[in-house]
Amino acid sequence: MKVFHHTTPKIFLASWVLINNTEASVNSNNLQKPPAKPHCDILYPIRQWINSIQVSDRQLAHRLCEVIPSQCPFERDVNLFGKTLFHIPPLCKLNPLYDEVVALRFRALCYLADDCGEDVSQYC
């Protein structure tokens, strides 16, 4: 079974589908809402470029899996004398390209596992 082909549509669905809130919601008062203003996404070309990267090289796939971390490296517990003072939450979600980068890493892992037949447990 090819993992990539079964899970990729579910991962990318959020970036492919734009739901218009005025069409999706039902107005119980029968009042028409004004149409939503067009959303200007400055990072759209970069998102499209990252999503269009096809992983078809073993070295590229290994490099992507090494460079892109599997967990947020900024999440920390700050301890002093064995007691937790505070917790720094994962800040990766603040990155506007986080979903695209994680999807690229997933495509690289799927290429290594499905097409190359390699064990990818070292990257998990």
pLDDT of residue 14: 47
| DSSP secondary structure letters along 29-79 | T-PPPPPPPPP--TTHHHHHHHHH-----HHHHHHHHHHS-SS-TT-EEEE
pLDDT by 10-residue block (mean), the chain, 124 residues: 57 48 48 65 90 92 91 84 87 86 93 88 84
pLDDT of residue 124: 81
pLDDT of residue 54: 92
| CB-based contacts of 64, cutoff 8 Å, min separation 6 | 55, 104, 105, 108
Q: Which two tokens stand for residue 63?
A: 């490099």
pLDDT of residue 100: 92
